[in-house]
Amino acid sequence: MTDLVTDVLRQHAEDAFAAELAALAARDDRPRPERWRLSPWAVATYLLGGELDDGTVITPKYIGPRRVVEVAVTTLATDRALLLLGVPGTAKTWVSEHLAAAISGDSTLLVQGTAGTPEEAVRYGWNYARLLTDGPSREALVPSPLMRAMADGRIARVEELTRIPADVQDSLITILSEKTLPIPELGTETQAVRGFNVIATANDRDRGVNELSSALRRRFNTVVLPLPGSLEEEVDIVTRRVEQLGRSLQLPELPGGAQEIRRVVTVFRELRAGLTADGRTKVKTPSGTLSTAEAISVVTNGMALAAHFGDGVLRAGDVAAGVIGAVVRDPAADQQVWREYVEGVVRERDGWQDFYRAARENAR
């Protein structure tokens, strides 16, 4: 555990929301699985938000179907692990962090999956200086985050599971099915204690990079995180996150924010769907994902531009460059898609003349 430092750039969920977690724990009289800090009900409330009977407000972390969260939390109380699947920017990492924070009070037992993730990152490694002086011993062994989670009965997180090479993925099978991690060098093992489980995330678009073996897939219950269902829902997500990020970046609150958020989300949704919101005009779809996460960063960047170089109001010109950057990934094809959208849709739209002008200026 690290000391609580308040000026770190990004606090862990368990630190940032320590007060909410403590309030929930104090109120929570439902049964808790062994070593869980909260009952499944309280974990779901922490994620979805709500008001406790003493008036404490729990802010929503995840905005989306309640059932998705309920199934995810319930899975972690069973002997199957949880796989959060979805297109980029659907809050897989975010939900995984908050689940681990609420259940174990610790979201830092994390293995980042990449094409180069070695087996040591999943199992254990050695402190070579000690290994040379003392030979193999418990003291020379460097446990992976997973091994620590097993020993302590906590939640471990594996990010981007499908990017991990297949043979390294396979070392997860023993952990998840036998709930033990053999250490042949010492003739011993680390057995998982109650409370241990794994949350993995994987990106829909990575499918086929390293397909999960069916043996491993069977150890997971897969929960798909959907894209926001409606414009209102997505505007709500972006508004909340921009507000939180703005606070931690110490940006002032700016008028004009609500209008530009709605505009960015509208553009993203229309281009994603290939259809305008009124259902009348077909538009071409660009190559990028245009995720909610990208909408959040476009607006946050716009806020910073407006705060430092603007007139104190968030304007179309502050977000236009960011929108174009998100849409135009492939300079040739996407440029054409964007131009058609600007001329065919934005130009005619009531109240969008400022955005039209900004889009044209930035395109040059």
Q: Dig out the tokens for 157 from the structure.
A: 């997180």
Edge to edge, the sheet with strand 197-203 lists 110-112, 155-159, 197-203, 81-86, 220-224
Distance CA 321, CA 324 (A): 5
Q: State whether the Cα torsion 272-91-200-33 is positive or negative.
A: negative
- Decide if residue 265 touches ligand ATP (CB under 6 A): no
By CB under 5 A, name the one of 93, 171, 213, 239 that touches Mg ion.
Answer: 93
Which one of the spans 40-48, 92-100, 243-251, 266-274 is the region binding Mg ion (CB under 5 A)? 92-100
CA 83 to CA 185: how far, in whole Å?
31
Q: Using the rule CB under 6 A, which residue among 39, 203, 266, 276 binds ligand ATP? A: 203
89 binds ligand ATP (CB under 6 A): yes
Considering only residues 56, 93, 335, 362, which one is a binding residue for ligand ATP as defined by CB under 6 A? 93
Q: Choose one: 1-9, 93-101, 208-216, 222-230; the region binding Mg ion (CB under 5 A).
A: 93-101
Binder of residue 241, out of ligand ATP, Mg ion, none (CB less than 5 to 8 A by kind)? ligand ATP
Q: Which is nearer to ligand ATP, 162 or 190 (CB)?
A: 162
| Segment contacting ligand ATP by CB under 6 A, of 40-48, 83-91, 335-343, 353-361 | 83-91
Site for ligand ATP in 217-256 (CB under 6 A): 228, 237, 241
Closer CB to Mg ion, residue 15 or residue 206?
A: 206
DSSP class of residue 189 equals E
Containing 201, the helix (H) or strand (E) segment is strand 197-203
* 39, 45, 75, 90: residue in contact with ligand ATP (rule CB under 6 A): 90
Binding mask 26-65 vs ligand ATP (x if CB under 6 A, - otherwise)? ------------------------------------xxx-
Q: Closest Cα to residue 171, out of 163, 156, 160, 181?
A: 181
Considering only 103-111, 291-299, 341-349, 352-360, which stretch makes contact with ligand ATP by CB under 6 A? 291-299
Residues 59-78 that bind ligand ATP (CB under 6 A): 62-64
Q: Tell me the chain's radius of gyration from C-alpha atoms.
A: 23
Tokens, residue 309: 């170089």
Number of residues that bind ligand ATP (CB under 6 A): 19
86 binds, among Mg ion, ligand ATP, none (CB under 5 to 8 A by kind): ligand ATP
Query: CB-wise, 144 or 203, nearer to Mg ion?
Result: 203
Binding segment for ligand ATP among 84-92, 168-176, 212-220, 346-354 (CB under 6 A)?
84-92
Q: Which two tokens stand for residue 192?
A: 């998982």
Cα–Cα distance measured from residue 122 to residue 74, given in angstroms and rounded to the nearest whole number = 24
Decide whether 92 or 241 has the Cβ nearer to Mg ion: 92
Q: Which of 147, 162, 207, 197 is nearest to 177 (CA)?
A: 197
Residues 75, 117, 292, 300: which binds ligand ATP (CB under 6 A)?
292
Q: Strand 197-203 relative to strand 155-159: parallel, antiparallel, unpaired?
A: parallel
- Its sign, for the CA torsion 268, 271, 273, 276, is positive
CA distances from 106 to 17, 125, 182, 215 (A): 12, 22, 25, 29
Question: Are 121 and 144 a contacting pair, CB within 8 Å?
Answer: yes
Give yes or no for residue 288 binding ligand ATP (CB under 6 A): no
Q: How many CB atoms lie within 10 A of CB 259?
A: 16
Are the C-beta atoms of 129 and 105 separated by less than 8 Å?
A: no
Chain residues that interact with ligand ATP, rule: CB under 6 A: 62-64, 86, 88-94, 201, 203, 228, 237, 241, 292-293, 296
Q: Could you list the residues that contact Mg ion (CB under 5 A)? A: 92-93
